[in-house]
Amino acid sequence: MHSAIPHLIELQRVDHLMAAVRAEIETFPKRVRDADAKLNGARAAVLAAKEGLVNSQKERKKFELDVQQWKDRAKKYRDQSGAVKTNEAYKALQHEITNAEGEVAKAEDAQLEVMMTGEEAERRVKHAEANLKEDETAVAKERKEIESQQAEKKKQLESLLAERERALAPIPEDLRELYARIAKRHHGVGLAEARDGQCRGCGMRVLPHTLQELRRDPNEEIYRCESCGLILYTLEPIPLPDPAAGSGHAASSASNHS
């Protein structure tokens, strides 16, 4: 196996860790946006509840005014009824009084309904404000945790970058470039283990001769999978000589020489 292979294996390990850390770092802005969106939603709920309360209060004042206006009109008709001269005029005023009092009753019913709606609107405002306060506390805590995690991941990435430089240093320039080209095509994977007669990158068969060469040490050749093109390495031990086979061969030689 090529002497640079252990360094390439270490380089790939570090690259995979770096990719995972970078992917996690990339999630932090979205997590902050999601937390802010939650808070903005709670603020919008408070504004909507307060707007509903204001509208309810306006409607209540409108019906209060209506009640008073109809009461004033009924009073005016009653005052006029004492001064009329004819029975027809008196009946007409009584009709207007009855109509005004009916409108008073309607306006008072509507006013009562609006008052109940207003109480519900007040409850919604208090509930929305309580939710907002809870969300503000939770989001502040979450943002603090995100900032802490982000700082830790950036620190981890810096450490991995230094580790990568150490892994990269012993690797010849041509092998660095080869690894980079292959890894770019295979989503960060440049090497694959040859194990049990297969390339663990694609699952295709590795020729026995190639496996034997990978086990040979020293060996300054680079072998790649004929199917996927990944740089091959093996961690399988070099087969030890079979003593029985050796003895049998020696016995056979001795017999031939006799």
Residues 158 and 180 in one domain: no
Say yes or no: 223 and 138 in one domain. no
CATH code, 70: 1.10.287.1490
Average pLDDT of span 136-148:
95
Residue 242's pLDDT band, with cuts at 50, 70 and 90, is low
How many structural domains does the chain have?
2
pTM of the model: 0.66
155 and 180 share one domain: no
- pLDDT tens profile 110-141: 777 878 877 888 888 999 999 999 999 999 99
Q: Tell me, what's the pLDDT at 155?
A: 97
Average pLDDT on 177-198 reads 96
Angle at 10 between CA 7 and CA 12, to 5 degrees: 110
Beta-carbon neighbour count of residue 171 at 10 Å? 20
Contacts of residue 128, defined as CB under 8 A and 6 or more positions apart, other chains included, come to 42, 45, 46, 48, 49
Based on the fold, state whether residues 106 and 188 are members of the same structural domain: no
Q: How far apart are CA 45 and CA 258, in angstroms?
A: 105
Residues 47 and 151 in one domain: yes
Q: In what order do the strands lie in the sheet with 191-195?
A: 198-199, 191-195, 231-233
